[in-house]
Amino acid sequence: MIETKTLPTQYVSRPGALSTSSGKTLRTDEMIINMGPQHPSTHGVLRLEIVVDGEIIVDVIPHIGYLHRCFEKHAEHMTNYQQVIPYCDRLDYCAAINEEHSYVLAVERLLKIEVPERVEYIRVIMAELQRIASHLIAVGTFGIDAGAFTPFLYAFHDRELILDLFEMTCGARLLYNYFWIGGLSHDIPPQFIEKTKAFCKYFPARIKEFNDLLTYNEIFVKRTANVGVLPKDVALNYACSGPMLRGSGVNWDLRRDDPYSVYHKLEWEPQLGKGEMGTVGDVWDRHIVRMREMEVSVRIIEQALSALPEGNVQAAIPKRIRPDAGEIYARTETPRGELGFYVVSDGSGTPFRVKGRAPAFVNLSALPAISRGAMIADLVLIAGSVDIVLGQVDR
Amino acid sequence: MTAEEILNTLKARFGDAVVESKLDVPQPWISLNPARMKEVAEVLHDDPSTQFDTLMCLSGIDYNNGKLGVVYHLFSMVHRHKIVLKAICTKEEPHVQSVTSVWATANWHEREAFDMYGIVFDEHPDLRRILMPYDWEGHPLRKDYKVPEYYNGMKVPY
């Protein structure tokens, strides 16, 4: 059994311990540095209070809430369940489809309705396209954190192609309101399949190019290997999920281990960090997991496209959404990890309580544990590798 | 383990700490005495037959009948089983024992429940507001919450 009670202390602060060659001691002192909320490398409005001793981080205290939009309060005050979906989009604006997926899944399970198979396949295709788009932002901006600007442009060029596919389907490029409870807002347009297939053919070569540019770049590897190591037991105790957990070598993916939609009918494997460049669970491992997951997503999309059945995508949409009194916790694997919605119904037409278990919020809470003892220059990389979206952290 | 077995284990071990339970729902839940959450959590986490190593979610809730609740969704990666625990307290005495020492992830979730519902988690290492400003008054997700007219002397247009 894994011992998860005690966290490793990577650095013990000892003010005054630094001694000079003459035998006298230099007095060192701890200093507090403020980073954010308006800082280009915090990926949004995150404020970190950093306690440093020289260049070594003694402690990091994150202050969040600058982007709090009262999502849960809004959800309780809508006139029906359907109206919450656009607010879910705005939780994680980089991966809106995945947020919708989790919420509609929770409500569908409360209502005990089955959705047509075509809907499930289209949902998987969209969710995986969105995963690629989101990972492209993650690795692109992560490159900027490390001082590499060019890969960012490559990433955003390819992300644009995916956004075009979404625009073609539902008219929106960022916040879609595409998944409805029991179905979809539109069926896919006729050219969609052909264009998505073309994208799947084009994209793997670009991943290779991106890897050559950034992932295996010697400077990048030296900056990221052995930095911000998150051990397995700490990751589990902090309930980290997604690439953060898999980067630490835990073979866990909700798409396989708590199946939803049609993932169990497709062939694919979760990608794990193996410590190829340094220690298992370092910043480089989290990066490579994201790169490999994009390849996996392409394979899932290809399989789902070829198996796509016919049907009416709006056949199962209920006329009136009024679940019986009860509660449900449904979770899906989003690009950032486990997004769960705890939805409580009191039998009326509006949710009594909606709690969003945001993966970025939970993953960020492990940041102090993995930053202690690191150099202050590496903090930007460590925070970047957690891949937070502040819209989701602050809700 | 099934929910029934977990319930029987808890009953045998803690007796009167188990307040209520409901097993015939999609996600069975067990309601416990809020003052004994930590010892129950420790056993569920450490016992080889349960081994709940992951706290998936911790939510506060206002039942709108003078009661507040904390809902714990537990999962075991080893045994692949789930259980939902509840700790229900009153609005007059909103005290629940913290489980941060068992699952580190509970730290921020409990701070959020404190921020939004005013539930005080006893023995929590760092119980501060997390999403709202530190000088905010009131707990916004309570059902009887009224939006304040003024914040620090500034009129809030609403």
The pLDDT of residue A257 is 86
Q: Do A2 and B48 touch (CB under 8 A)?
A: no
The pLDDT of residue A104 is 92
Residue A7 lies in a domain: no
The pLDDT of residue B39 is 87
Chain B contact for A64, CB < 8 A? yes
Task: Determine contact, residues B117/B58, Cβ cutoff 8 Å.
Answer: no
Place of tokens 């960012």: A152
Does residue B140 have a cis peptide bond before it, meaning omega lies within 30 degrees of 0? no
Task: Give B49-100 pLDDT, tens digit per residue.
Answer: 888 888 989 999 998 888 899 999 999 888 888 889 999 999 888 999 999 9
Distance CA A334, CA A130 (A): 9
Please tell me which of the candidates B71, B105, B132 has its beta carbon nearest to residue A237.
B105
Q: Do B27 and A1 touch (CB under 8 A)?
A: no
CA-nearest residue to B50 within chain A is A1
Residue A11 lies in a domain: no
Q: Are strands A337-345 and B29-32 parallel, antiparallel or unpaired?
A: unpaired
Count of domains for chain A: 2
Q: Write out chain B residues lying below 8 Å of A68, CB-based.
A: 131-132
Residues A291 and A316 in one domain: yes
Chain B contact for A72, CB < 8 A? yes
What percent of chain B lies above the pLDDT cut of 90? Answer: 17
Task: Give B108-138 pLDDT, tens digit per residue.
Answer: 999 999 999 989 998 888 888 888 888 888 8
Residue A6 lies in a domain: no
The pLDDT of residue A21 is 56
Residues A59 and A89 in one domain: no
| Residue B112 Cα, gap to closest chain A Cα (Å) | 10
DSSP state of B142: S
Q: Do A331 and B56 touch (CB under 8 A)?
A: yes
CA-nearest residue to B117 within chain A is A73
More confident call, A13 vs B22: B22
Write the burial class of residue A132 (CB in 10 Å: 0-12 exposed, 13-18 middle, 19+ buried).
buried
Q: Write out chain B residues lying below 8 Å of A1, CB-based.
A: 46, 48, 51
- CATH number at A147 reads 1.10.645.10
Residue A277 lies in a domain: yes
Task: Determine contact, residues A220/A214, Cβ cutoff 8 Å.
Answer: yes
Is the torsion defined by CA of B130, A248, A154, A131 positive or negative?
Answer: negative
Does residue A37 have a cis peptide bond before it, meaning omega lies within 30 degrees of 0? yes
Residue A46 lies in a domain: yes
Residues A359 and A290 in one domain: yes
Residue where a domain stops, chosen among A11, A39, A63: A63
Task: Determine contact, residues A394/A64, Cβ cutoff 8 Å.
Answer: yes
| Residue A29 Cα, gap to closest chain B Cα (Å) | 24
Task: Determine contact, residues B61/B44, Cβ cutoff 8 Å.
Answer: no
Tokens for A62?
């994150």
Q: Do B59 and A237 touch (CB under 8 A)?
A: no
Task: Determine contact, residues A371/A9, Cβ cutoff 8 Å.
Answer: no
B3-155 CATH pick, 2.40.50.140, 3.90.1640.30, 1.10.3720.10, 3.30.460.80 = 3.30.460.80
Question: What's the whole-model pTM score?
Answer: 0.87
Place of tokens 């053919």: A201
Residue A15 lies in a domain: no
Residues A57 and A165 in one domain: no
Nearest CA-CA partner of B70 in B106, B111, B119: B119
Q: Do A394 and B101 touch (CB under 8 A)?
A: no
Residues A265 and A342 in one domain: yes
Task: Give A367-394 pLDDT, tens digit per residue.
Answer: 998 888 888 888 888 988 888 888 889 8
| Residue A240 Cα, gap to closest chain B Cα (Å) | 8
Write the burial class of residue A27 (CB in 10 Å: 0-12 exposed, 13-18 middle, 19+ buried).
exposed
Residues A41 and A84 in one domain: no
| Residue B129 Cα, gap to closest chain A Cα (Å) | 9
CA angle, A394 then A43 then A123, to 5°: 70
CA-nearest residue to B29 within chain A is A327
| Residue A63 Cα, gap to closest chain B Cα (Å) | 7
Which of A2, A66, A67, A329 best tests the B interface by mutation, with the highest count of B CBs <10 A?
Answer: A329
Chain B contact for A252, CB < 8 A? yes
DSSP state of A39: B
**What is the separation, in whole angstroms, between the first and last Cα of chain B?**
51
CA-nearest residue to B113 within chain A is A355
* Domain around A59: 30-63
Residues A381 and A254 in one domain: yes
Task: Give A291-331 pLDDT, tens digit per residue.
Answer: 999 999 999 999 999 988 888 888 888 888 888 888 899 99
A177-212 residues labelled b (16+ CB within 10 A) or e (exposed) = bbbbbbbbbebbeeebeeebeebbeebeebbeebbe
Q: Which residues of chain A have pLDDT under 50?
A: 1-13, 16
> Domain spans of chain B?
3-155
Distance CA A214, CA A220 (A): 7
Residue A112: CA atoms inside 13 Å, Cβ hemisphere, count?
7
Residue A344 lies in a domain: yes
How is the beta sheet containing A30-35 ordered, strand by strand?
A30-35, A47-53, A56-63
Residues of chain B whose beta carbon is less than 8 angstroms from a beta carbon of chain A are 25-27, 45-46, 48, 51, 53-57, 59-62, 71, 73, 77, 80, 84, 101-105, 107-109, 116, 129-133, 140-141
Which helix or strand (DSSP H or E) is residue A360 part of?
Answer: helix A359-364
The pLDDT of residue A2 is 44
Backbone angles phi, psi at A319, to 5 degrees: -70, -40
| Residue B12 Cα, gap to closest chain A Cα (Å) | 24
Residues A234 and A124 in one domain: yes
The pLDDT of residue A199 is 92
Residue A5 lies in a domain: no
